[in-house]
Amino acid sequence: MRESNLLTQCRQALELARERGADGIEVFGQTTRNLTSTIEKNDLQISKSRQETRIGVRAFLGDRVGFASTNDLTKLEDAATDAVILAKASPGDPHNVLPEPNGTPSVDGVYDPTAESFTTEDAVRYAIRMLEFARSMDSRVIVGDGEFSAEIQQRAVVNSSGFEVEERGSTFTYYLLTTAKEGERVSNFDFQFGASRIVSEIDVEPVTRRACENALGSLGAEKGESFKGQILLTPSAVHQILEPVLTQINARNVLRGMSRWKDSIGTAVAAPSLTWVDDGRLPGGIATSSFDREGVPHQRLTVIESGILRSFLHNTYTAHAFRIANTGHAIGSAGSLPGIGPTNLMILPGDLSKDALVSEIKQGLLVSRFSGNSDPISGDFSGVAKGAHLIKNGKIARPVSGSLIAGNVFEALKNLSGISKERERVFNFIYPYLRLKDVSVTAE
């Protein structure tokens, strides 16, 4: 491998921390080049470029740790000094350890060399494509907000056990926030997101089409009906309502006693139809890369298998505390200490189509977006169903507004009554439509 500047800078920071007395050191370096073209109210808004190198130094003094970062490469000494001072002032913790050196198998499809020649003009061209496509669909649609962004990122981890990894990645992301307006009537807004890792797979049209259709579909919404029954969540709504699950599967929260699933490994936490997988090596995944924030290899991990909780997400700290193998879920930038989080988190698809799931509902509600609270601890959720449609006798009947939905996420997971075949990407989550039963729907 050709020596990069980033690796050299990381090694330099490591030496500086060693000179200041650190006996264990990890340096995470990140270089980002970003080109973004933004959209506002049916027009281009602004084009932006950004270039930054950030170096984060984690210094260990025995089991004490301190962290400092800088984007000013003339201040590497200050960062190394601050990290050591913070370590000295901090109480120890036996689980503050560095990962063991480990081979890091590379992963394909995360870097497209042609991304290097991507220009501001190219970003603008895709943004214009989104606008033109939306306009061609329906003149009542307003793209209130949107963005096309191209990013090349170089990441490197160097630690005092002699461990060095480096990888380059390219990511293209795009989103739209749409409303539809007809006379005085304004729909709820809809949000759609898309992404690709390589230039030839950028496709802004399906995302734009969905954002337009959903905004138009919620025009003319009127008061709904109150009932207790089935609701069908779109992948976006699944992401919003099921967010408390992320709190439970984070091993750090388990250690803190904040996960209600702390004693639930091997037991049923969801309906047998539900399998939840995290895959940091997923081809084309937005969170795909060969190693995590600590340089530990990414892998495919089954979190919930047929309703049974199989594993939490770990970084080096929690894996040491639990005395189990690290799952490679350290996340974070060079500006922060390693945290824990999912990579590409997926619910595996079910057998029925979305339409088939609708056809089995006598009285229910299709929820496109959720605006409210989903309590990470109790799992109680309560909020307004946005872009909602009343379902009657197996058919989507009419758009409704102001319907409040309330229930409990953990009960809902067990009461799951259907999973769609179709799945959509919502940031780094790939979710199907989910049908829940026994949910309170209140029409306001």
| Near another protein in 70-129, by CB under 8 A | 70-73, 75, 78-79, 82-83, 85-87, 89-91, 93, 120-121, 124, 128
Binding test (CB under 8 A) with another protein, winner from 273, 376, 397, 422: 376
CB-nearer residue toward another protein: 32 or 161: 32
Least Å from the CB of residue 89 to another protein = 5
Site for another protein in 177-206 (CB under 8 A): 179, 181, 186, 188-189
Which positions from 199 to 238 touch another protein by CB under 8 A, shown as an x/- string? -----------------------------x----------
CB-nearer residue toward another protein: 155 or 354: 155
CB-nearer residue toward another protein: 97 or 124: 124
Site for another protein in 143-182 (CB under 8 A): 144-145, 179, 181
CB-nearer residue toward another protein: 70 or 104: 70
Binding test (CB under 8 A) with another protein, winner from 229, 284, 349, 372: 372
CB-nearer residue toward another protein: 180 or 390: 180
Least Å from the CB of residue 401 to another protein = 9
Least Å from the CB of residue 394 to another protein = 25
Site for another protein in 267-326 (CB under 8 A): none
Site for another protein in 328-367 (CB under 8 A): 335-337
How many amino acids of this chain bind another protein (CB under 8 A)? 73
Site for another protein in 1-20 (CB under 8 A): none
Least Å from the CB of residue 206 to another protein = 23
Binding test (CB under 8 A) with another protein, winner from 5, 8, 19, 43: 43
Rounded-to-integer distance, Cα 65 and Cα 142, Å:
50
Least Å from the CB of residue 31 to another protein = 10
